[in-house]
Amino acid sequence: MKEFIIDKTTSGTRLDRFLSMVMPNIGQGGIYKALRKKKVRINGKHEDGAFRLSAGDTVCIYMNDEFFAPADSDYSWKSASSVISVVYEDENILIADKPSGMPSQDGDGGCDSLESRIRSYLYIKGEINLNAVPLFIPSLCHRLDRNTSGLVIAAKNTVALRIMNQKIKNREIKKLYICTTERTPVPKSGKVSGWLVRDGKARKMLFYDTKPNGDAMRCETLYRTLRPGSPCVVEAELLTGRTHQIRAAMSHLNCPLVGDVKYGAVPNGKKTYQSLIAYKIIFNFKAPSGELDYLNHKEFKLNPKSKDCVHL
């Protein structure tokens, strides 16, 4: 028998998900068999897999020890730099300003990423206990392209990750960007709607006004001109979250982002990247979020004047 006391990092987790975390070798079938056979008790009572755990709950699991063998884990982020620009932080979330050129997450073989730096930063602060069972490692709730800079939300516990993911999916978190385009769009403000298809060979997204045959993703982007001219400063808001969405949408308007040669910008003989900053996040919850209700209506914003690529 194994006994676990639920803490805040796993509070709010479904029981079946918790069991898969502490018994990585049993499989989904084994988990539901254990529940049916009443080999799991929460505070002395039997519950189904959809039951959500709360801090302080005692979970007793009457299973053989081999099911609790630890899964292989990679903690290479412990050696990552802990230097990050924290815009906001509390016990549930952290909002960081990702620099251009840094990937959001590690790729194959590992690299210096924002997520690894956030984990290293929190580990040094003592907010990650690698001996905790089950172990929750802080994770990003969304990502930015490597060469896009700006605000990214990370969750410090299971509840925060679940709520943030749901709010982003339901479009209850507004994400606004500042970009510099080669010319002023026509009209100066509006919505760009269409379909994106991945071009794997060119490593870019192709924009279509009508849905093409094959795999295509619907995309919608609001935009408004802040400072017309050549170059032009534009604010864009994502209504959907697709890869390269703003870059492809502005290129479709014949207004590619300055430096974004991949999407039609004029080459200048130098290696340049898109002028794009995720500069504002607004929490606009339409439904109660429980533990994160205190974030509703809060706004977090970068000063675009501090960024080299935008001069308002």
Q: Which of 81-95, 97-111, 159-173 has the lowest mean pLDDT?
A: 97-111
Between 104 and 108, residue with greater pLDDT: 104
- What's the confidence (pLDDT) of residue 73? 61
Q: What is the CATH number of the domain that holds 56?
A: 3.10.290.10
Residue 69: the pLDDT is 57
Domain that holds residue 139: 76-169
Give the least confident one: 5-9, 207-211, 239-243, 302-306. Answer: 302-306
Average pLDDT over all residues of the chain: 88
* Residues with Cβ within 8 Å of residue 70, at least 6 apart in sequence: 24
H/E segment holding residue 124:
helix 114-124
* Residues contacting residue 139 through CB under 8 Å, at least 6 positions apart: 115, 154, 155, 161
With cut-offs at 50, 70 and 90, classify the pLDDT of residue 310.
very low
Same domain, 111 and 52: no
- The residues, ordered by sequence, that sit 6+ positions from 12 with a Cβ below 8 Å of its Cβ are 52, 53, 54, 157, 158, 159, 162, 290, 291
Three-state SS at 275: coil
Q: Give yes or no: residues 249 and 272 share one domain.
A: yes
Label residue 168 by pLDDT band (50, 70, 90): very high
**Do 220 and 240 contact (CB within 8 A), yes or no?**
yes
165 lies in the same domain as 218: no
Between 2 and 264, residue with greater pLDDT: 264
267 and 191 both lie in a single domain: yes
Q: Is the pLDDT of residue 255 over 80?
A: yes
Question: What pTM, to 2 d.p., does this model score?
Answer: 0.79
Terminal CA-to-CA distance of the chain, rounded, Å?
A: 63
Tell me, yes or no, whether 305 lies in a domain. Answer: no
* Residue 261 confidence (pLDDT): 92
Same domain, 86 and 55: no
Pair 44, 61 in one domain: yes
Q: What CATH number did the domain enclosing 87 receive?
A: 3.30.2350.10
Cα(167)–Cα(17) distance, integer angstroms: 20
Domain-terminating residue out of 169, 192, 209: 169
Region 158-173: what's the mean pLDDT? 91
Given a cut of 70, is residue 165 above it in pLDDT? yes
In the listed set 113, 147, 169, which residue is the last one of a domain according to the structure?
A: 169
148, 153, 157, 162 alpha-carbon torsion, rounded to 10°: -100
> Is 302 domain-assigned?
no
**Structural domain includes residue 294:** no
Predicted confidence (pLDDT) per residue in 189-224, tens digit: 999 999 999 998 888 999 999 999 889 999 999 999
Asked if residue 128 is part of any domain, the answer here is: yes
Residues 239, 214: one domain?
A: yes
Inside any domain, residue 310: no
* Cβ pair 115, 154 in contact under 8 A: yes
53 and 144 part of one domain: no
The total of structural domains in the chain comes to: 3
* CA 259 to chain CA mean position, Å: 25
According to the model, what pLDDT value does residue 195 have?
97
138-153 mean pLDDT: 93
Please check whether residues 37 and 61 belong to one and the same domain.
Answer: yes
Picking from 26-40, 112-126, 175-189, which range would have the lowest pLDDT averaged per residue?
A: 26-40
**pLDDT for the residue 232:** 95
- 108 and 193 assigned to the same domain: no
Which residues contact residue 144 at a Cβ distance below 8 angstroms, ignoring those fewer than 6 apart?
98, 104, 150, 152, 278
Q: What is the DSSP letter of 101?
A: T
Decide which of 113 and 65 is more confident. Answer: 113
Which among 169, 194, 218 is the end of a domain? 169
Give tens-digit pLDDT for 42-53. Answer: 999 999 999 999
Residue 266 lies in a domain: yes
**CB of 301 closer than 8 Å to CB of 279:** yes
Question: Strand pairing partners for 174?
Answer: 282
Token output for 224:
């408004």
- Residue 140 pLDDT exceeds 50: yes
Rounded Cα–Cα distance for residues 280 and 226 (Å): 15
C-alpha distance from residue 236 to each of 39, 146, 221, 310 (Å): 52, 18, 7, 14
pLDDT (tens digit per residue) in 51-103:
999 888 999 999 887 777 555 567 889 889 999 999 999 999 999 999 999 99
205 within some domain: yes
User: Token pair of 195, please?
Assistant: 């379909």
Q: Return phi, psi of residue 189, to 5°.
A: -140, 155
Q: Percent of the chain at pLDDT above 70?
A: 93
When pLDDT is averaged across residues 240-264 and rounded to a whole number, the result is 94
Q: Is residue 201 part of a domain?
A: yes
Cα–Cα distance, 73 to 185 (Å, whole number): 48
Using DSSP, state whether 153 is helix, strand or coil: strand
181 and 267 inside one domain: yes
- Residues 64, 96: one domain? no
Interatomic CA distance for residues 26 and 69, integer angstroms: 10
